[in-house]
Amino acid sequence: MGCTNDTREEASAAVLQPQPLESVAVSAEPAPVPGSVAGAFAEDGSTGESPASEEMSDTVTITISAAGDVTLGTHQEQDYWYSFRQAYDQAENESYFFANVYDIFSTDDMTLVNLEGPLTLAEEAREGQVYSIKGDPGYVNILTAGSVEAVSMGNNHTLDYQQQGREDTIRAVEEAGIIYACEKTVGIYEVKGINIGMISVNEVSQGYLVEDTIQKGIAELREQGADLILVSCHWGMEREYYPEDYQKILGEKCIDWGADLVIGHHPHVLQGIDEYKGKFIIYSLGNFCFGANRNPPDKDSMIFQQTFTFIDGEKQDDQEIRVIPCSVSSVPERNNFQPTPAVGEEKTRIISRINEFSLEFGVQFDEDGYIRP
């Protein structure tokens, strides 16, 4: 990602007030999460489970939610009024920001977002950076309050406040118990006995050099026992709704090298979803909780969900995916930094756009956001 001149938007004349859940324009629709039901106890004290249910005991499902650019803070050109900082100060607690997606994130097995901009008190910005973004280290609690377990940090704003900002951010997420990946540092999140490996690279700044980082990262994760591998790519052109040729090339290479899912961000807007060898490439998830713009012209966003099934420890070749269309704000006239699932006509409109962007790849979604066969 990177901030363009669109980031210097005009603020709304209305005084910023955090929106209570009962007043938001759209509401969350939690995704169904596979689960198990305990067997009833028989008179002899047994569970009454049949041999068939015992045979299924080695089946594990893992649902992963991925969302786009999360900027917990502001850039140096923004004043306080109507800003993310003001919203934070006025909110009752950190749960305000992800309140409308909490039911989705808290019922999956892992939520991953792209953390864009350091969490630091450092004052010395990187020379030559047009927009230097940062938030206070304490803002990390927004992620934990929102049930976000993992972040990608390989992007063009991680070093906005130089190495000190990067180190402060790593310290903040580690102390919060959040798993991260950034360039040569890979991450592993363990849930239900399944190890989910993460790689995060900044193709925007490094170009084809990220190929070596990705290949080495996949090899390292395999050595560490990763059962699933997610590759987050910061790539593409800002404000463009269709991927560049190199995004397509690199996405397919990631899968050829061993990635199970490729997750893209940076363009600030949605791009299509591709299927390659039975696996998926999300070219851009758009903005999500984006403090660097108080009123983005395109507020459409989405949460991508995929459920992976393991039987006896082996990943199955199923394709259980869903897109949940969202807006970056719960109100239409500005950004109140409260990403919210769309309903009704807005839900239909955003899914239609995702289908339009994905048409060339042969991927389409139904009215509820589930992939069509």
Walk along the chain (373 residues) in steps of 10 and give the mean pLDDT of each run. Answer: 37 35 36 37 40 62 98 94 96 97 98 97 88 96 98 95 96 98 98 98 97 98 98 97 98 98 98 98 98 96 98 94 98 97 98 98 98 95
Six token digits for residue 172: 């903040």
Q: How far apart are CA 182 and CA 151, in angstroms?
A: 9
Q: How far apart are CA 372 and CA 368, in angstroms?
A: 10
Six token digits for residue 98: 């992800």
Ramachandran region, residue 45 (left: φ > 0; alpha: ψ -120 to 50; beta: rest):
left
313 to 100, 102, 223, 226, 324: CA distances (angstroms): 34, 29, 16, 11, 29
**Considering the entire predicted model, what is its pTM?**
0.85
Name, in order, each residue with C-beta under 8 angstroms of 345's C-beta and a sequence gap of 6 or more: none
Q: How far apart are CA 44 and CA 261, in angstroms?
A: 47
Name, in order, each residue with C-beta under 8 angstroms of 266's C-beta and a sequence gap of 6 or more: 1, 2, 69, 155, 156, 204, 234, 235, 236, 238, 284
CB atoms within 10 A of CB 138: 14
Contact (Cβ atoms closer than 8 angstroms) between residue 72 and residue 287:
no
Residue entry with tokens 């090899």: 219
Six token digits for residue 338: 């409260």
Residue entry with tokens 């769309």: 342
CA end-to-end span of the chain, whole Å?
Answer: 32
DSSP code, position 59: E
Contact (Cβ atoms closer than 8 angstroms) between residue 265 and residue 68:
yes
Six token digits for residue 179: 């798993």
pLDDT of residue 255: 98
Q: Is 74 helix (H, G, I), strand (E, B) or coil?
A: strand
pLDDT of residue 50: 43
Q: How far apart are CA 179 and CA 349, in angstroms?
A: 34
Backbone torsions φ then ψ of 295, nearest 5 degrees: -160, 70
Q: How far apart are CA 4 and CA 268, in angstroms?
A: 10
Q: Residue 170: which of 102, 115, 125 has the closest Cα?
A: 115
pLDDT of residue 57: 61
Q: How far apart are CA 78 and CA 64, in angstroms?
A: 34
Q: How far apart are CA 121 and CA 216, in angstroms?
A: 33
Domains of the chain, CATH where assigned: 61-361 (3.60.21.10)
116 residue type, one letter:
E
SS3 content of the chain, % helix, strand, coil (to 5): 30, 25, 45
Q: Is 216 helix (H, G, I), strand (E, B) or coil?
A: helix
275 to 52, 81, 150, 324: CA distances (angstroms): 34, 43, 24, 18
